[in-house]
Amino acid sequence: MRHSQSITSRIQLFLLTGLLVLGVGCTNLAPITEFADISAQSAAYTGLVTQYLQFPERQKRFQPSSQHARLDQMSRERAAQKERLLLRQAFIEEYMDALGQLAADEPVTYDKEIDALGKAVAANKFAGERDAGAFGSVSKILFRAAADDWRQRKLRELITESNSPFQEVVGALKRIVDQGFAGDTENEEIAIRNYYQPIILSSKDKAGIAALEEWRDTRLAEVRVWRQAITDYSEVLSKIASGHQKLYDKRDDLDNKDLLQLMSRYAQDLRKRFDTLKSL
């Protein structure tokens, strides 16, 4: 009995010492995971790259055949960029996914495993049931605290090391979207106008003109949907970059309440944008 009390006291001391050494409590970084997860999903949206690649082929509908060889050449050049463009998106997705997993509680909760170990110890008479229970409780807290501390350190290292290249890569993708993909939509509108306007001006048939104007407006409406997707995706990239910058700014205080609330808001905004993107 005295022996058992002694073990229990030692365990309590072990627990206290362990927690003091680790100097951390268990933290919940769920909002960071949430932000990272939705960032990963949103960054993976490839609809705009598809539009960019198909642009020259689509232009053939509006442009004279004398321009088709040039458009074919443009198609080939854009097709050659496809893999690199998709790889950028895929890597932003992969990076955010890794960040989210490091911030997640799930991989560092070993409670079930430790319970099983405690039971095995007791069942095999290596310790009394009471000691085995105490061992389990202590181990759970210490494991969790240690893993939590390690996880936060790795997360901090990742954010610190990656922020600068991450901002550059996301910024570059945003430039491509804002100036390249959006430029395509402007060129598409001009092509639509150039195609329909001469026919309308040359026609004397009022019903025919009305029908042509309707067709033109339908085409222009399609471009507006595409432009909306560009605006939404650009916003998504801005939010991802800005959220990562906030994490970097507070990297030494990742469980800061204000930061976690902000990450939650960012995640909500991203989810809204992503839902709109998916519906377009």
Residues making contact with other proteins (CB under 8 A): 52, 55-56, 59, 63-64, 66-67, 70-71, 74, 77-78, 81, 84-85, 88, 91, 94-95, 98-99, 101-102, 107-108, 110, 113-114, 116-117, 120-121, 123-126, 143, 147, 151, 154, 157-158, 161-162, 164-166, 168-169, 172, 175-176, 179-180, 183-184, 186-187, 190-191, 193-194, 197-198, 201
Q: Considering the complex, state which of residue 166 and residue 233 has its C-beta at the smaller distance from other proteins.
A: 166
Q: Which amino acid is at 225?
A: V
Half-sphere exposure of 69 (CA within 13 A, CB side): 1
Q: Exposure pattern of 50-70 as b/e (b: 16+ CB <10 Å)?
A: ebbbebbeebeebbeeeeeee
**d(Cα 189, Cα 34) in Å, to the nearest integer?**
38
Residue 23 zone, left/alpha/beta (φ > 0; ψ -120 to 50; rest) = left
- C-alpha distance across the termini of the chain, in Å: 71
Give CA–CA dist 279/236, Å, rounded.
Answer: 15
Indicate the residue among 128 and 180 with the shorter CB distance to other proteins: 180
SS3 25: coil
- Give least dist CB 274 to other proteins, A: 21
- The residue (of 99 and 236) whose beta carbon lies closer to other proteins is 99
Residue 118: CB minimum distance to other proteins, A: 9
CB of 52 to other proteins, least distance (A): 8
Residue (85 or 247) nearer to other proteins, CB: 85
Residue 147, Cβ density class (10 Å: 0-12 exposed, 13-18 middle, ≥19 buried):
middle
Nearest to other proteins of 220, 276 (CB atom): 220
Q: Rounded to 5 degrees, what are φ and ψ at 28?
A: -115, 105
Nearer to other proteins by Cβ, of 16 and 123: the residue is 123
Shortest approach of other proteins to residue 69 CB, angstroms? 11
Q: How many residues are present in the chain?
A: 280
Say if CB 230 and CB 185 are below 8 A apart: yes
Instruction: Tell me how far apart the alpha carbons of residues 54 and 67 are, in angstroms, rounded to a whole number.
Output: 16
Helix axes 257-279, 206-249, angle to 10 degrees: 160
2/84 with CB nearer other proteins = 84
Minimum Å gap between C-beta 33 and other proteins is: 12
Least distance in angstroms from the C-beta of 228 to other proteins = 19
Q: Measured from the CB atom, is 25 or 165 closer to other proteins?
A: 165
Gap between the Cα atoms of 119 and 186, Å rounded: 68
- Rounded to the nearest whole angstrom, what is the least distance from the CB of residue 68 to other proteins in the complex? 10
Query: Please, what is the minimum distance in Å from the beta carbon of residue 107 to other proteins?
Result: 4
